[in-house]
Amino acid sequence: MLRQLPPQLPELLNKLSNTGRLFINQYESKKTRMQATAGELAGVSNHSKGVQNTTNTSRLAGAALGGLGAIVGLAAAFLPGPGKLALCIAGGAAAVFGGASVVTANATKATTEIISREKVKELGKEFIQIIELQKGLLEDINTASEELEEKCFSLITKTRNQAKIGLWNTEGLQQLLIQTAKLSETSRAVVDGTLSVLSQVKELLDFIITLSRITPTAEEDAMLRNCITESALQCGKTVLECAKIRNMLRDYEEMQAE
């Protein structure tokens, strides 16, 4: 096909094809790790929610036992000596056990949260590193496809005005223009998506750093869980979008080889 192209196009098309192959190779080499990272983030999110639910249950149970202990202690005040002693012991045991349940639940939650934060920091940094490189290649693809799209359009207009059709006819240029325009549009959308997920994951890491310096409130804990969940979803979506542009690049190159 290159021999049929007007002299203004082969260089641009080669530039786009070479960058596309670089992206495909990069994506294929990192695809498994990207998928695993998104999955691990989702796992951390689900585990954190499970721990929070368990903690809430333990706190309710502890509060109930503590309340039962208080009621038993109050009832003991109206009983004779032997019965009073037995009820006091029972009430005290219930209150102690209830308090211990709450303390244990809080300690477990705190330890889990620290481990989860460190894991999220590790996963987030790894995902950013992978996506930064792919974003750069996607931006190059978008720039090359926009340049080629513009050149195709100008050649079609020129050919029509001069009523000339050379080795590469107007229909062929129109087909190349359509293919390139689709690639340009999709690559721009994926670039925007990668910028968004990079911003979101970086904000999550900054939030984790902030929380590591303080004792988080319940609202901040909930906000962190939501941020992890959303980041996991966006990372998974980015993997799919990168797969989509990879497939488009393969199809584009195959069509130019026909």
The amino acid at 153:
F
d(CA 234, CA 240): 10
d(CA 189, CA 183): 10
pLDDT class for 9, splitting at 50, 70, 90?
Answer: confident
| 127-137 confidence digits (pLDDT tens) | 999 999 999 99
d(CA 247, CA 177): 18
Return the higher-pLDDT residue of 189 and 75.
Answer: 189
d(CA 180, CA 80): 93
Residue whose pair of structure tokens reads 């709450």 in the numeric block: 102
Inter-residue contact 206 to 43 (CB < 8 Å): no
Domain range list for the chain? 2-47+113-257
Mean pLDDT of 160-166: 49
pLDDT class for 174, splitting at 50, 70, 90?
Answer: confident
Please tell me whether the overall predicted TM-score, pTM, comes out greater than 0.75 for this model: no
What's residue 160's pLDDT?
53
| 201-236 confidence digits (pLDDT tens) | 999 899 888 877 667 777 887 888 888 888 888 999
Mean pLDDT of 149-168: 65
Q: What is the DSSP string of 146-213?
A: HHHHHHHHHHHHHHHHHT---SS-HHHHHHHHHHHHHHHHHHHHHHHHHHHHHHHHHHHHHHHHHHHT
